């Protein structure tokens, strides 16, 4: 059986893109991958002179690939700086800040870490022991987002870079559809006052391509999933979407495009925002982080 060759240069292919119909060699895969990421940055005007980019660094494939890409893109620029930081949620056997720190240091990027224990007085494992694991992802997601924002502001970050890929973005849109959450779908882009702006350079890149890019360029990144992730609605949506997209390869792009078009229309009601008197962090509607921490710490059941 003959080797499958790249459609661009006839060298051996390392990937087949079902949505484009192309086989690509390493060189043309990397060029295509980085072109998608650069196009997202240009389209949304995510990086400007004077920015200090903070990369949310879990140590997994997405954040490791993102840090490598941003170092390659911005490393020689004097008008933009990079820093990486990791949030330790307190999940035994899963989160190890050492992995993320090693990857960042290998790429010449300063690394910081912060923990739920230090900032909230509780860990995800303790939350699960008190509340059960059914809502573990809800608690973790809210607290993690707030702590990322705290650390980013403390380090003078002007843009917070997240490793969300095309699959993640498509899942988020579909989750809002399944919940019937019209306000969130129609909410204009942009966050509350005091929230460090988020950027997602990989939002148009499929997850499997991010994984391949990481394998090609980064050594030692974490592979496992969070042990509590099976509880999340996202897990069900991921399986549903993967099954459907196998038969209809452009589905994820269509969902992300739908989400952007609805957001651009900006007709949704934006809940009242403010700064929490207790923690000093921005919130929309209510400070869910403070409510959750208080609920867990005062639960003696």
CATH 3.40.50.620 fits 36-266, yes or no: yes
List average pLDDT for each run of 10 residues in the chain, which is 301 residues long.
Answer: 86 96 98 98 97 97 98 95 96 89 97 96 92 85 94 96 97 94 81 86 98 97 85 86 95 96 71 80 85 81 47
The whole-number pLDDT of residue 2 equals: 62
Find all residues with CB under 8 Å of 17, minimum gap 6, and list them.
23, 24, 209
CA distance 166 to 250: 11
CA distance 63 to 103: 10
Residue 136 · residue 142 · CB < 8 Å: no
Length of the chain measured in residues: 301
Kindly report the pTM of this predicted structure.
0.92
The whole-number pLDDT of residue 1 equals: 44
With CA atoms as reference, report the closest residue to 169 among 241, 224, 248: 241
- Name the residue with tokens 């990144």: 221
CA distance 60 to 200: 16
Tokens, residue 212: 């391949």
- Name the residue with tokens 């792009």: 253
Residue 127 · residue 120 · CB < 8 Å: no
| HEC letters along the chain | CCCCECCCCCCECCEEECCCCEEECHHHHHHHHHHHHHHHHHHHCCCCCCCEEEEECCCEHHHHHHHHHHHHHHCCCCCCEEEEEEEECCCCCCCCHHHHHHHHHHCCCEEEEEEHHHHHCCCHHHHHHHHCCCCHHHHHHHHHHHHHHHHHHHCCCCEEECCCCHHHHHHHHHHHHHHCCHHHHHCCCCCCCCCCCEECCCCCCCHHHHHHHHHHHCCCCECCCCCCHHHCHHHHHHHHHHHHHHHCCCHHHHHHHHHHHHHHHCCCCCCCEEECCCCCCEEECECHHHHHHHHHHCCCC
With CA atoms as reference, report the closest residue to 87 among 56, 133, 127: 56
The whole-number pLDDT of residue 301 equals: 47
* Count of C-beta atoms within a 10 Å radius of residue 115: 16
């Amino acid at each position: 059986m003959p080797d499958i060759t790249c459609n661009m240069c006839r060298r051996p292919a390392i990937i087949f893109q079902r949505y484009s119909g192309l086989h690509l060699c390493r060189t043309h895969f990397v060029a295509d991958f980085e072109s998608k990421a650069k196009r997202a940055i240009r389209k949304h005007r995510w990086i400007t002179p004077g920015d200090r980019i903070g990369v949310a660094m879990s140590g997994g494939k997405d954040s490791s690939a993102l840090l490598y890409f941003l170092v390659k893109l911005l490393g020689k620029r004097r008008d933009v700086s990079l820093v990486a930081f990791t949030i330790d949620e307190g999940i035994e056997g899963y989160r190890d800040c050492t992995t993320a720190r090693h990857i960042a240091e290998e790429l010449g990027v300063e690394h910081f870490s912060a923990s739920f224990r230090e900032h909230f007085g509780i860990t995800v494992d303790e939350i699960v022991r008190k509340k059960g694991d059914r809502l573990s992802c809800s608690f973790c997601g809210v607290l993690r987002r707030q702590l990322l924002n705290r650390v980013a502001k403390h380090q003078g970050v002007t843009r917070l870079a997240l490793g969300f890929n095309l699959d993640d973005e498509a899942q988020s849109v579909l989750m809002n559809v399944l919940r019937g959450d019209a306000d969130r779908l129609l909410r204009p882009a942009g966050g509350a006052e005091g929230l460090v702006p988020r950027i997602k350079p990989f939002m148009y890149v499929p997850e499997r391509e991010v994984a391949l890019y990481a394998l090609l360029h980064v050594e030692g990144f974490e592979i496992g999933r969070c042990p509590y992730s099976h509880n999340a609605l996202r897990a069900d949506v991921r399986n549903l979407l993967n099954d459907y997209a196998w038969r209809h390869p452009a589905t994820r792009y269509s969902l992300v495009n739908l989400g952007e078009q609805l957001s651009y229309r900006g007709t949704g009601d934006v809940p009242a925002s403010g700064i929490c008197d207790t923690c000093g962090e921005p919130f929309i509607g209510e400070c869910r982080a403070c409510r959750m921490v208080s609920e867990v710490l005062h639960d003696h059941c």
